[in-house]
């Protein structure tokens, strides 16, 4: 298996390196290749240093909680933008500004808030119209306070049961997923009867047609995160945000940049797709409203994979970053899923309780890698 992985990684890297920038790239897989010009030392581009990123460029961000000490630590490693959970529904200008101003006091800008609390809508139960009205009111408030992106999930149940701890170089903690470890589980208590694919699509369509016009008018973009893990079922509930075809279908339900996705190069590889093809398809249609930046090694698409260090997986992280800039994307990039390092494990409270959780040094590695990629691309 290791030899197979090495061959696949080598082959994938060579293909990605040959892929052209979006202006010349065909999403249908045309065989056009980018010609890399040869340069001499005298012809090389002069690089203005340090590299600065203006408001029209991608913005690296991390998840944060309301702790001033932790916020200072994020600023120290070069983080300027934050994504975080939103207040209780319905959001108001006051409740949003309380959160945003708190981070602003440490020179951190909230670029994305996660919204939830609409299970009746997901399950199609009585009371969903009231939930949707609260989402609509929340989007109006987000627009008034200048929050550009609202992220959300749409699954009846998230399949976390298949996760298990594995190890990487030097014994660092990684996280793997195997659908066979926990498939065919019944619905969890309180979830009711299993949701069919048809019912989930109907409920998502109902939701999007109600909220996207409000978001667009408010100047807010919504970002639907793909199901992760992207398995076909979770506790007997169908997963409908789990394939590339699903994502294509979703952005066609309401034709608006406000009806966008969270592009995740890791999930794209987990389901067996070419992350660059997914990036170009969504990006050329202006439907990428948030980005998760990470790497994986996939054994069985959608069913078995390992989350790995950024520099070790199957995703060509440089090619992804290059084309993110080429697409003129300007919202958040979240270098997520850091590895669990001994330095963090040795400090009580530094690492979470969930498998694969990492601490401050794990996040620092991801931030440094992402920032270096951004600077390298911007210097091309």
Here the CATH number for the domain that contains residue 274 is 3.20.20.150
Does residue 112 have a pLDDT over 70?
Answer: yes
pLDDT band at 44 (very low <50, low <70, confident <90, very high): low
pLDDT at 196: 97
Q: Which of 35-39, 319-323, 358-362 has the highest mean pLDDT?
A: 319-323
- Looking at residue 33, its pLDDT comes to 38
Beta bridge partners of 288: 261
Confidence of residue 19 (pLDDT cuts 50, 70, 90): very low
Q: What is the mean pLDDT of residues 131-154?
A: 98
Which of 131, 297, 139 is CA-nearest to residue 216? Answer: 139
Q: Which helix (H) or strand (E) holds 149?
A: strand 149-152
Per-residue pLDDT, 348: 61
Residue 160 lies in a domain: yes
In degrees rounded to 5, what are phi and psi of residue 377? Answer: -65, -45
Q: Which residues of 289-308 are buried (b: 16+ CB within 10 A; e: fewer)?
A: bbbbbbbbbbeeebbbbbbb
Give the per-residue pLDDT at 46.
81
Identify the CA nearest to 229 among candidates 159, 164, 293, 291. Answer: 159
List helix spans (H) across the chain. Answer: 2-18, 68-76, 93-104, 119-123, 128-145, 197-218, 244-253, 265-270, 275-283, 317-326, 342-345, 360-378
Residue 246 lies in a domain: yes
In a domain, 372, yes or no: yes
CA separation, residue 92 to residues 58, 117, 207, 220 (Å): 27, 15, 20, 14
Which range of residues forms the domain containing residue 200?
2-16+56-378
Instruction: Quote the CA–CA distance of 307 and 309 in Å, as a whole number.
Output: 7
- Given a cut of 90, whether residue 346 has pLDDT beyond it is no
In a domain, 36, yes or no: no
The residue with tokens 């976390």 is 160
Q: For 300, phi and psi rounded to 5 degrees? A: -130, 115
Q: Does residue 69 belong to any structural domain of this protein? A: yes
pTM comes to: 0.87
On the 0-12 / 13-18 / 19+ scale of CB atoms within 10 A, 30 is exposed
Q: How many domains does the chain have?
A: 1
| Among 157-161, 183-187, 201-205, the range of highest mean pLDDT | 201-205
pLDDT of amino acid 350:
56
- Closest C-alpha to 148, from 58, 56, 220: 220
Task: State yes or no: pLDDT of 11 exceeds 80.
Answer: no
Assign 67 a pLDDT band (cuts: 50, 70, 90). Answer: confident
In this structure, the strands spanning 109-114 and 81-85 are parallel
Does any domain span residue 267?
yes
Please report whether residue 352 resides in a domain. yes
Predicted confidence (pLDDT) at residue 375 exceeds the cutoff of 50: yes
Stretch 304-333: mean pLDDT: 98
284: pLDDT strictly greater than 50: yes
Say if 232 falls within a structural domain.
yes
């Amino acid at each position: 298996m290791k030899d197979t992985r090495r061959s696949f990684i080598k082959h994938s890297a060579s293909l990605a390196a040959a892929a052209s920038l979006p202006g010349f790239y065909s999403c249908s897989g045309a065989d056009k290749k980018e010609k890399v010009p040869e340069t001499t030392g005298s012809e090389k581009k002069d690089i203005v240093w340090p590299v600065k990123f203006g408001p029209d460029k991608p913005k690296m961000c991390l998840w944060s909680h309301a702790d001033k000490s932790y916020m200072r630590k994020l600023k120290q490693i070069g983080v300027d933008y934050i994504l975080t959970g939103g207040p209780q529904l319905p959001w108001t200008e006051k409740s949003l500004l309380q959160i945003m101003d708190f981070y602003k006091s440490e020179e951190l800008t909230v670029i994305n808030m996660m919204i939830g609390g609409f299970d009746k809508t997901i399950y199609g139960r009585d009371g969903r119209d009231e939930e949707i009205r609260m989402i609509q009111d929340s989007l109006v408030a987000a627009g008034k306070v200048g929050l550009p992106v609202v992220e959300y999930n749409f699954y009846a149940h998230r399949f976390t049961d298949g996760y298990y701890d594995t190890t990487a170089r030097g014994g660092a903690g990684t996280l793997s997923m195997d659908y066979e470890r926990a498939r065919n589980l019944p619905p969890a208590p309180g979830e009711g009867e299993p949701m069919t694919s048809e019912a989930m699509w109907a409920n998502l369509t109902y939701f999007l047609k109600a909220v996207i016009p409000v978001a667009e008018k408010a100047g807010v973009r919504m970002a639907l995160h793909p199901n992760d893990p992207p398995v076909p079922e979770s506790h007997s509930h169908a997963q409908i945000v789990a394939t590339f075809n699903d994502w294509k279908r979703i952005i066609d339900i309401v034709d608006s940049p406000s009806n966008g996705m969270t592009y995740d190069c890791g999930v794209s590889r987990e389901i067996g797709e070419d992350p660059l093809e997914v990036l170009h398809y969504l990006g050329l249609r202006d439907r990428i409203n948030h980005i998760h930046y990470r790497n994986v090694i996939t054994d069985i698409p959608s069913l078995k994979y390992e989350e790995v260090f950024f520099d070790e997986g199957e995703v060509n992280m440089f090619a992804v970053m290059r084309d993110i800039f080429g697409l003129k994307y300007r919202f958040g990039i979240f270098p997520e899923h850091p590895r669990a390092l001994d330095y963090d494990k040795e400090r009580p409270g530094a690492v979470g309780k969930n498998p694969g959780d990492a601490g401050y040094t794990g996040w620092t590695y991801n931030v440094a890698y992402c920032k270096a990629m951004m600077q390298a691309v911007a210097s091309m």
